[in-house]
Each structure stands twice: as C-alpha cells, then as structure tokens.
C-alpha cells in the first residue's frame, strides 16, 4: 500500500486526491473482474497525476490479465524505472515473462523479488516453477522448499516440489507430495495459485492509494419519526418467556410488506395492511382467515408450496400453525394437511431450505417437553406435507432455544444455522449436506449472558457473514467477526450501558453502502433503541442521539424489523412492544443517498428466494447480502433487500447465487423509486459433454455423449449410481466430411460439469444403401450395460398401431423424426419426473424366425441428483421404462424391467425383443414416470444382415485441449429438446469450476489412445479438438453408404448439491472402482510411478474453485475450421 501525502499546493492536492479516487475505483473493478473498466480508471488516474507509481503499476497488472502482454511489459518497465525496488513491479513482470514463454527472464525478475522479500512464499513458488521449466531440478527443489518453509500449506509449492522430485528420479517422495497436494485441495485447507486475477499472489494484485480521506463518507442528516401501529390495547403484557414476535409478509400483493404482530388470547394474530405511505391499517382476522387463540410467540413467512404466494407459520406457546396463502389477502389453516404437530414448546420460527432441494422446510426453536429436544426441523416433502426430520439432522439441540438465523457461515454453499438459547453462546450448526449437522458453540468467552436474538451480515466486507447477538444480560449486544469460516472473534462496540437486549437487525440507514447495526436494549434509564454506525476500519459509532432515537419512548420493546415500508428508498424500522402498540419509525433523510431495492423470486429454487446470496458492485462499492428467513428476535423482515449505493447512480453488477448453485448476473441496474424484481435464471447447470462434427462447411451439433458416465450421483440415502463409462454415438455420413484426409470433431463442456475423458475413437461403418446402422446404446440403471455393437436395420417400419396413456391414437406423432414429440404426460415439480404413463404399441404380424427389434428415437429430460432427492422425500423413485406384453388371455406380463432410454439429447436406441415374446403376441406397452419424449418408433423383423456391416477404425491423429467458451444453446418447442450453434460463442456464462488440477492446454493426443485411467480433465467452456486420419479408409462398394460411430470413454461429475464431492476434481474416478466416492482405505486411484508421472506432467493447470467471472452469456459470431486448415 502507498500513502499519498497531500502537499500544501491546492492544485497538486486536488490532482492527487482525484488520481487516488480513480485508481481505487479501478482496484474495486478489478476485484469484480471488470478488467477493461478497471484499465480505463487506471489510465485516467495516471492522467490526473503522471508522477504516481501505482496507476502505472496497476495498469500493467490489468493488461497482464487482459493477456496484452507486450503492453503490460511496457507499463511495468515504466513503473520499474520509477521505483526499481518495488517488489510488485518485478513480480508482475515475471508473470508477464512467464506468459510470454521466457522462464529465464522471469527467473531473473523473481530473484529480485525474493531478495526484497524473502518471506513471500508465492515468489519462491514461481521462481521454482521457472527453474522447473528450465529443467533445473535442484534449484527448483530449493525454491519450492523455501516456499514451504514460509507456508507449509502452500498447495502449489507442494505440487511443484512433487514435480521437481520426480525430475530428480525420487518417485516415492514425489508421490507423497502429490498425495499431500490432493489432500490440501480436496479439503480446502489451501487453494493452488491459478492464472485468474486475485489468485496469483498478493504481489499480482492491484493496490489502493491510501489518502487521509475516510473510507466511509460523512453521515447524512437523518432522523426517525415514530408513529403507532394499530390499537394500544393490542399486544401481550410483559411476562416471562419469549413473546412479542412479528413478521412482514406480502398479504395483499407482491412486495406489499404487510405486518403480522403476535399477541395473546383472541388477538393472538394481528394483521396490519401497509398503506404504502408508512402507515398501517388494522385488518380484521375474519377477513384474512388468520385466526387463532392463545399466546402468540413468533411468526415466519415463506412460500412452502412454491405457488408464488408467501405462506405464514405461527408459533403459539403450545403449537405451530401453518396458514396457506390463497391470494387476495385470504388464508386457510393448512396445519393438519401439512402434518405439522410439534412436540416442543415453540419459540422462534424460520423457513429454511436446509437440503437445497428447492422447497422450504420449517425450523422451530423452543423448550423441550418431558425430556424432548428444544428444536424441531420439519422437512418439506415437496407435496405440501412435512415430516419431522430432527433426528436425521442432529438439530435437536439442548437447553431452551429462542431465535435462529440461516447463513452460509463457512462459504461451502450449504446453508448453516445459528441458534440462540440458554446454553450461553449461540450454537453454530454446520450443514454436512447429508446426515447430522455439526454443532459447536459460536464462541468461547466467559462472562457473557445467554443469547436470545441473532442476525447475520458482512459488516467488514470480507465475504464472510458475521454474527450479531443480543443477550438476556450484560453486555446486551455483541458482534462477532467471522474469520474464514473457522472461528469468530469479538468486535468492540460502543455500547457500555446495556444491561440486556432483545431485537437486533442490520440497516444501512443513510444508504452509504456500509451496513449498520440496530438493537433494542435495556439500560438503567429504561429501554432504548440504539443504532451503531459502521465506520469501516474505524469500527462502530453510536449515532442514536443524532438520529433522534433518544426522544422515542418505548414500553417493553421486543422485536425489531428493518424494512422500507413506504418505498422511498430509505430503510425504516418497526418495533413491537408488550402491552402497547407496535411502532413504525420512518427514516427521514436516508434517501438523499442512492439505494437499490431488490425483490427476488426463485424458479428452480424456493419462490421466496430464502438462502440466496447477493453481491452488489457499484463503482468502488461492494456489498454482500443473504436472504434469510427469520432473524433478530422472534421476527422476520421482508425478503426485499435495500442496498445503499452512496453517490453511485446505478449498480454495475447485481450478482446472485441461488441455493441450488445457480449463479446469475444482472448488469447496469439503475437506482429509482421502484423495486427491481429478478427471477432466477432458467439455467441448465449440468450437461454431458457435447459433440460437433465438421460437415465440410461448418461444425454442426450431433448430440451429447457419456451422460450415463456421471459418478457420485445421489440415488438413495447413502447410495450413489453405477456409472456406464463409455458410449458409441452415430454420426450420419452427411454430417461428417473429410478435410485434406482428416475427419474433425469437437468435444466440449457447455455447462459446468468436469469431464474425465480417457479415450476417443472413430469408426467408419459401411453398409448397403437402403439400410441403417445404429450402435446398441442406451441408459440402463444397472449393469450389464449396452453392448455398443453395430446393429443394422433393413426392414424398419411403423408399428401397426400406437396409443398414448389416455388411449388416444399416437401413431401419427411417431411417424417421422420431425421434433414433434409424443407428450402425453404431466411433468412433476421434480426435474425429470412425470406422472406414471404408458405407451402401447401393436407390433403387427411378425415371425420368430428373424430378429425382432424396436428402433426408438427420442430424448430424456434428465433428472438431477437434487431432484431425485426431492422426489424421494415425496415418496417417488425413478421408474425406468419397463415392457409388458399382452398374452393371448388378455393379461399383461412383464418381459423386461428396464428397456433403457436415450442417454441424453435426441438419438436412437435399440430394444431387442428377440425371443422375449410368445408367438402371435402383438401388443406391448412401456411404462415409466420419467420425462421421455419419443419422436419416432419403428419395428424391424427382417432377416439378420449383420454380416453386411463393414467397420474400419481410423487412428486419432491429433487432439488439442483449449478454452473455447459456450456455444449458443437453442431450445426447441418441446422443453429439453436442445441444440447448439457453434458459430455463436460466449466467452462467459453462469457457470463455475471445480477446485483442483486440470489437464494443461495444448496437445493431449497421447492421453486419448486407450482407456487407462489417464484422463484429459477439463471443465466449463473447454473442449477437445480432435482429428482422425481417414486417408486409409477403403473405397465404398457400389450402392453402399458410409456412416460413422464416435466413441468416448470416461466419466463426468457435476456440481449438483447432492453430487458426491461436487466442488473438487478429486477424488479421481477409475474404471475398476466399486462405487464413487470410494473408500480410500479399501481402494484408490492408481498411484504407481506411471500414474504419478501422468498426474504431475499433465494435470498441472489449477482452478481454485473461487474464480469470478461475469455470469452472463454474451454471444458473438465465431468462425472455426479443422486444424488442418489453420
């Protein structure tokens, strides 16, 4: 960092401050991966003050990451002339020289860096890597060891040392360091260095210019004006125990932000309609149907049935009620139908999608009865019913519990829980994805009273959610900084007179882009509302007096909610009171700064968007939010987010990460009076690699491949699928043409799966004109899998009849391959599932003397691991299509339990009925509950002509791996009927990369010759460009035709929440594994010398798993030709 000392000269002072501001905006834009925009800021900063070093240095770093290496070198050499003793300059120059293929020059640069800073492990690593490229193993080992002395957990140095030791012939030592590297990356103890900005060491990051200006702007003149809500007689009296809860819910329309306050007796539920001007009107209970008698404690809002309307859960002292939102402000009591019957004495409520299956579950805190647990988790079964799922998750807890907040504490994309209660510190429950949550105290510190209220927010903008806690004694309020998801450290607060507290909430009251903290506390002078302003690095400042809060009289205050109730862009506060009406505190003046209101709706995720992470980038500002259910003390605010932007008129990027892992960007979102409603992107995250073939003019899409080779796919509790590692795909001869004696295909990943491709083959299949050939391939649930053998058809014809599930004639829909699919079923809410449905066929007359086969052309809309999990909760299991035959007596007899189905996008499968039907039986029927779409079905009972097939394999001539981007996806009129355009490519998309080691770019031909567990490992947007030598193919006999069979062998792993090891490259699959993930004690990926050499020599390209890019498609025209033409 550099501190700019402002001189006495006013003009110089102004230019330095202006340069610092522009430079620091550029740094912020670099952190957002908006490198082009950042470069512009650095150039403007340099113009404002050409004498400053940092704008020049930062410009060079930006050009490095734009891969404009010559320009980067020019800028960095200029910086070196200004300050030849700056380590940042030489480190960045070394990265430029390494990118230009100059390891000797890079080594000289890095020698300067390690002399200036011997304690920088990354510099030692890159110096070692440069020596390794120069084949100087001894110096490489020395530098890698130096890096590990500084940082024993340096993942890249660990891998580099393994490579250098191997070069020295020390294979056993190399293997041990390779294992250590795999452990470090798999367990996320350490991440390897990559080529992405922010992941190449601290000296490769741009720097702020620090001035005497504060990071937080001066506070606006803001005050809060209080007014009562409803009748003063409404509300419970102050008694022991939790009470006074409230929540905001859209009762009378989208984003209406109406209010529900809990009372007692006949007024247990009190409803107030938001008039839109900061005032609320009483709504009689009979009008809404929200009627209950008893002692109201808390409430929670969430759309548990995903019908687009938020429902309401109410906790009374002896029961929980679930009200279903019927629309137009009307509710019905759905508690009995939902099956919720708690066995504790309830306290707090929160909706949470704990299992990330797309529907909201319900978490209930409280006190155990007759020795029972205080907490209960009610799992949503996906069909508007719930099951008590406390025991399988280990969330029962102990003592008495009060409030809970959901948050991804450890940033592993699985939502966790923090629960307050009588045991002292709140309990942090870490979500393991399946099985018991791991419980631990949030902190260990003596002298703090028990916790009651809790909220989560990122107060210091480090990307980790911190925790604010209220206590039923001193100190009243405490704040805990999240340290990398591993521990919490207490943060000092300017609050010395609080003897206890209740409600707590975050609020950016002046829209300056820094989240502040508000709490209801008890002092010696009585109850008070305190607001602590976030001053960034300077900590917090009590501004309650400046906001006029000491003038507001409170009576037994309890819940505290932050919400923009009058939609003016400034966040207001709501306070509930016992024995007195609730108060609305209107924010006056906060909207003089800009703000953005965001209202999110899930699509594949829960409609309430609960659990979604939101990041907002605006100029130099960055903020992170999470949409929680319940928070604070027995309360829940609206799911709408109010984002303060200070003086920025718009947000450059609004980035969302939905609970099921879908990333989404919205760009250039302007501030204004209205709320921005964003619906979750309709994104397919998982796809098998896809195949393109050169037809002589362009690359045309063929289909997807090895979809059945996915590993670690959840199928039942503690059970994963059996992977079918290989597949043959037919390429029609008209779609694959020779170019200078070579046939060219492209094989790439269009989404975010990781692919382990072991072998690629191409066979010419010659056959007489008038016949067709197909590989025997299909998706089968269990081995033995399909043979892949070539099957010839010479007498294929339509069945004599076909009838859909309702008995309607279906033959017309099955006549041609025209993408007019038979679709006589209803899709369920679980991806890939439909209602059980049957297709009946009349085969017509046939003879048992010849083979009897069906040729079925269609596709499957795949289920995902998450949808299988969600369907299992609702009592559904996937039903592969089974076949029955109608016997002469009219009865139906099953002839096969799994006839198979197309393993992905449109293709033809072969179902062999030879020997399976009694003579004379004509009618068969296939039944399934999968989304199977049939385009054409043909019957062939002709003589066996397999001897007429001639197959010739062509050698793989060349294969290169590189990043290409994402071909444009085109959806047909039937959902899931996809094709891709290779002439339209986006370099960015809403996808992520798994953490670990990938195969380096370039020639990968040696890895693809045979199936030997030596994979080409590649991920999102990457592809293999392969060419096969066709010059030795025999000439075609007269009246024959030539088609091709493409073969791929390997495995696929996606990033589904219920995929095993979804976020890491490891564990590497292998062909002899018994299951995935495998028990590493019982079996493991081969680790002999050849395997170690393969991993070190080939898989030396790294991804941290944290790469950030614009999560939007930006398709551009693209041309491509076979390598022989380039």
Residue 1118, domain member (yes or no): yes
Tokens 């062909």 sit at which residue?
1071
CB 1123 within 8 A of CB 960: yes
Same domain, yes or no: 611 and 504: yes
Please give the structure tokens belonging to residue 415: 């939502």
Residue 670, domain member (yes or no): no
Among the listed residues 474, 454, 507, the one whose alpha carbon sits nearest the alpha carbon of residue 634: 454
Same domain, yes or no: 628 and 692: no
Same domain, yes or no: 539 and 632: yes
| Residue 38 backbone phi and psi in degrees, to 5 | -65, -40
Same domain, yes or no: 201 and 249: no
Residue 171, domain member (yes or no): no
Q: Which residue numbers in the chain have pLDDT < 50?
A: 1-8, 10, 232-234, 1126
Q: What's the total number of domains in the chain?
A: 3
Q: What is the dihedral of CA 877, 881, 882, 883, to 10 degrees?
A: 160
pLDDT at 7: 42
Same domain, yes or no: 604 and 731: no
pLDDT at 232: 46
Residue numbers of the domain that contains 743: 687-764+954-1126
Residue 218, domain member (yes or no): no
Residue 755, domain member (yes or no): yes
Q: What distance in Å separates the CA atoms of residue 706 and residue 1010, rounded to the nearest whole number?
A: 16
Same domain, yes or no: 126 and 253: no
pLDDT at 231: 64
pTM of the model: 0.88
pLDDT at 12: 55
Tokens 């506070």 sit at which residue?
219
CB 1119 within 8 A of CB 985: no
Same domain, yes or no: 523 and 374: yes
Same domain, yes or no: 279 and 424: yes
Coil, helix or strand at residue 285: helix
Same domain, yes or no: 1071 and 1018: yes
Q: What is the dihedral of CA 892, 897, 901, 904, to 10 degrees?
A: 140
Q: Give per-residue pLDDT as tens, 490-525.
A: 999 999 899 999 999 999 999 999 999 999 999 999
Supply the CATH number for residue 144's domain. 1.25.40.10
Same domain, yes or no: 600 and 711: no
- 699: Cβ contacts below 8 Å, ≥ 6 apart: 692, 693, 744, 746, 982, 983, 1120
Same domain, yes or no: 437 and 326: yes
- 150: Cβ contacts below 8 Å, ≥ 6 apart: 119, 120, 121, 124
Same domain, yes or no: 253 and 206: no
Among the listed residues 471, 515, 514, the one whose alpha carbon sits nearest the alpha carbon of residue 495: 471
């Amino acid at each position: 960092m550099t501190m700019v000392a402002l001189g006495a000269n006013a003009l110089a002072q102004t230019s330095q401050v202006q340069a610092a501001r522009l430079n620091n905006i550029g740094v912020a834009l670099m952190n957002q991966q908006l490198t082009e925009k950042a470069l512009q800021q650095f150039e403007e900063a340099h113009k404002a003050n050409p004498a400053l070093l940092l704008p020049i240095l930062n410009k060079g770093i930006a050009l490095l990451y734009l891969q404009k290496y010559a320009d980067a070198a020019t800028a960095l050499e200029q910086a070196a002339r200004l300050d030849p003793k700056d380590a940042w300059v030489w480190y960045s120059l070394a990265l430029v020289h390494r990118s230009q293929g100059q390891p000797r020059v890079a080594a000289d640069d890095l020698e300067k860096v390690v002399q200036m800073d011997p304690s920088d492990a990354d510099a030692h690593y890159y110096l070692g890597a440069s020596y390794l490229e120069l084949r100087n193993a001894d110096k490489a080992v020395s530098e890698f060891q130096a890096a590990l002395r500084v940082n024993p957990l340096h993942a890249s140095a660990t891998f580099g040392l393994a490579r250098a030791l191997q070069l020295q012939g020390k294979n056993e030592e190399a293997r041990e360091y390779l294992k250590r590297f795999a452990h470090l990356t798999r367990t996320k103890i350490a991440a390897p260095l990559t080529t992405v900005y922010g992941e190449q060491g601290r000296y490769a990051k741009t720097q702020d210019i620090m001035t005497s200006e504060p990071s937080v702007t001066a506070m606006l003149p803001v005050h809060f004006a209080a007014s009562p809500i409803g009748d003063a007689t409404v509300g419970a009296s102050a008694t022991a125990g939790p009470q006074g809860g409230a929540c905001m819910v859209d009762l009378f329309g989208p984003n209406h932000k109406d209010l529900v306050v809990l009372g007692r007796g006949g007024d247990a539920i009190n409803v107030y309609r938001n008039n839109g001007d900061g005032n609320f009107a009483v709504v009689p209970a009979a009008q809404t149907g929200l009627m209950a008698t008893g002692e109201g404690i808390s409430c929670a809002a969430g759309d548990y049935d995903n019908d687009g309307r938020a429902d309401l859960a109410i906790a009374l002292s002896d029961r929980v009620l679930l009200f279903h939102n019927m629309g137009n402000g009307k509710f019905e009591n759905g508690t009995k139908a939902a099956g919720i019957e708690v066995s504790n004495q309830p306290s707090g409520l929160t909706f949470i999608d704990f299992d990330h299956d797309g529907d909201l579950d319900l978490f209930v805190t409280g006190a155990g009865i007759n020795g029972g647990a205080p907490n209960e988790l009610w799992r949503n079964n996906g069909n508007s019913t719930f099951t008590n799922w406390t025991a399988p998750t280990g969330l029962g807890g102990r003592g008495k519990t009060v409030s809970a907040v959901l948050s991804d504490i450890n940033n592993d994309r699985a939502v966790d829980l923090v629960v307050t209660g009588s045991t002292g510190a709140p309990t942090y429950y870490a979500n393991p994805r399946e099985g018991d949550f791991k419980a631990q105290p949030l902190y260990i510190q003596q002298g703090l009273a028990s916790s009651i209220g809790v909220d989560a927010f990122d107060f210091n903008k480090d990307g980790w959610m911190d925790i604010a806690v209220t206590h039923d004694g001193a100190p009243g309020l405490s704040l805990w900084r999240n340290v990398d998801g591993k521990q919490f450290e207490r943060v000092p607060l300017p609050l010395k007179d609080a003897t206890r507290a209740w409600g707590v909430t975050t609020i950016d009251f002046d829209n300056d882009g820094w989240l502040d903290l508000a709490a209801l506390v008890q002092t010696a002078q009585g109850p008070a509302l305190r607001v602590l302003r976030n001053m960034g690095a300077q900590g917090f400042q009590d501004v309650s007096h400046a906001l006029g809060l000491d003038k507001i009289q409170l009576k037994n205050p309890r819940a505290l909610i932050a919400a923009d109730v009058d939609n003016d862009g400034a966040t207001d506060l709501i306070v509930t009171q016992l024995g007195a009406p609730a108060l609305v505190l209107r924010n006056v003046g906060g909207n003089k700064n800009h703000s953005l209101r965001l209202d999110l709706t899930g699509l594949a995720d829960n409609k309430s968007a609960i659990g979604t992470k939101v990041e907002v980038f605006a100029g130099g500002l960055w903020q992170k939010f999470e949409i929680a259910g319940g928070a604070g003390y027995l309360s829940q605010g609206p799911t709408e987010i109010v984002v303060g932007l200070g003086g920025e008129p718009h947000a450059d990027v609004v980035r969302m990460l939905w609970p099921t892992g879908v990333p989404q960007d919205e760009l250039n979102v302007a501030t204004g009076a209205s709320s921005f409603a964003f619906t979750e992107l309709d994104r397919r995250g998982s796809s098998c690699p896809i195949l393109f073939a050169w037809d002589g003019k362009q690359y045309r899409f063929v289909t997807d491949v090895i979809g059945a080779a996915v590993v670690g796919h959840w199928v039942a509790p503690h059970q994963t699928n059996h992977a079918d590692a290989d597949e043959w795909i037919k390429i029609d001869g008209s779609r694959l043409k020779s170019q200078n004696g070579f046939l060219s295909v492209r094989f790439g990943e269009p989404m975010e799966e990781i692919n382990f491709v072991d072998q690629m083959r191409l066979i010419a299949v010659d056959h007489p004109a008038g016949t067709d050939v197909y590989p025997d391939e299909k998706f089968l649930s269990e081995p033995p899998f399909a043979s892949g053998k070539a099957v010839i058809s010479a007498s294929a014809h339509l069945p004599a009849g076909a009838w859909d599930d309702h008995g309607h004639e279906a033959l017309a829909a099955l006549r041609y391959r025209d993408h007019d699919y038979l679709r006589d079923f209803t899709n369920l809410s679980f991806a890939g599932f439909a209602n059980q449905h049957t297709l009946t066929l009349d085969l017509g007359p046939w003879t048992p003397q010849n083979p009897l086969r069906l040729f079925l052309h269609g596709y499957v809309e795949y289920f995902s691991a998450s949808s299988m999990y969600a369907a299992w909760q609702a009592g559904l299991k996937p039903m592969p299509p089974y076949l029955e035959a109608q016997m002469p007596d009219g009865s139906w007899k099953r002839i096969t339990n799994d006839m198979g189905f197309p393993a992905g996008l449109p293709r033809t499968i072969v179902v062999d009925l030879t020997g399976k039907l009694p003579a004379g039986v004509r009618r068969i029927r296939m039944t399934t509950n999968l989304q199977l779409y049939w385009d054409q079905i043909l019957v062939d009972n002709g003589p066996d002509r397999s001897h007429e097939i001639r197959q010739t394999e062509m050698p793989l001539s060349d294969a290169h791996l590189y990043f290409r981007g994402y071909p444009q996806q085109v959806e047909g009129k039937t959902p899931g009927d996809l094709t891709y355009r290779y002439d339209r490519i986006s370099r960015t998309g809403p996808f992520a990369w798994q953490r670990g080691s990938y195969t380096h770019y370039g020639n990968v031909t040696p890895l693809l010759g045979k199936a030997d567990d030596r994979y080409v490992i590649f991920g999102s947007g990457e592809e293999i460009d392969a060419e096969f030598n066709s010059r030795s193919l025999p000439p075609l006999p007269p009246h024959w035709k030539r088609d091709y069979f493409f073969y791929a062998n390997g495995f696929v792993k996606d990033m589904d929440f219920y995929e095993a090891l979804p976020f890491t490259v490891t564990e590497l699959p292998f062909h002899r594994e018994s299951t995935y993930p495998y028990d590493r004690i019982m079996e493991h990926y081969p680790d002999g010398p050849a395997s170690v050499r393969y991993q070190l020599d080939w898989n030396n390209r790294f991804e941290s798993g944290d790469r950030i890019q614009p999560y939007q498609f930006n398709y551009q025209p693209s041309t491509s030709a076979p390598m022989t033409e380039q």
